[in-house]
Amino acid sequence: MVRTYVRFLTPGAFFAEEYSVEVPGRDPAAMASIAKPEAFAFQFYSVSVLDDEEGRELISSQFDVSCFYYIDALVYTADQLAEISATEYRTVIDNMRSNGWDKVAFCRTGNFRPLLEGDEVIFSGNDDRGQAPARQR
């Protein structure tokens, strides 16, 4: 039997924290609308589950892993962040350029994440976006 899960990401001290929930299907809009407010992204994955002779579940490695869906995020290029404030966003801009990231997602929780090929921004319908970076005056 194949089970499908959604893995939600929430802010952590150094790395994102994760929690997973089994779901009946892969509906990004539904997941965005039910995500906890502290969740800034999610992705789907599947596992195969078999019972052995003793009734124990044997669970495969994850497969069919989706892109990341960033909930209510805003998308920026390095040039756009530099235009807003090259000094305030220097670390993000330097990371983008040194890692070859064309765009980052500014998440509703206030953190930046690389927006990699295939990743998407999805809106929850709750208009829960984080405070956008403001232009310095």
Q: Is 31 exposed, middle or buried (0-12, 13-18, 19+ CB in 10 A)?
A: buried
List pLDDT tens digits, range 51-93. Answer: 999 989 999 999 999 999 999 999 999 999 999 998 899 999 9
Per-residue CA distances from 136 to 25, 72, 77, 94, 100 (Å): 44, 23, 17, 19, 26
CA 79, 119, 99, 90 torsion-angle sign: positive
| DSSP β-bridge partners for residue 134 | none
* Per-domain boundaries in the chain: 1-137
- What is the average per-residue pLDDT within 4-23? 95
DSSP label at 63?
A: B
What local confidence, expressed as pLDDT, does residue 135 receive?
46
Give the pLDDT of residue 40. Answer: 96
The mean per-residue pLDDT over the stretch 39-49 comes to: 97
pLDDT tens, 80-136?
A: 999 999 889 999 999 999 999 999 999 999 999 999 999 999 998 875 455 555 544
Which amino acid appears at position 117 of this protein?
Answer: E
> Is residue 9 predicted with pLDDT exceeding 50?
yes
Task: Give me the chain's average pLDDT, please.
Answer: 91
Task: Give whole-number Cα distances, 96 to 20, 49, 99, 101, in Å.
Answer: 28, 39, 5, 5
Taking only Cα atoms into account, the Rg of the chain, rounded to an integer number of angstroms, comes to 18
Answer yes or no: is pLDDT of 137 > 80: no
Nearest Cα residue to 129 out of 103, 110, 102, 104: 110
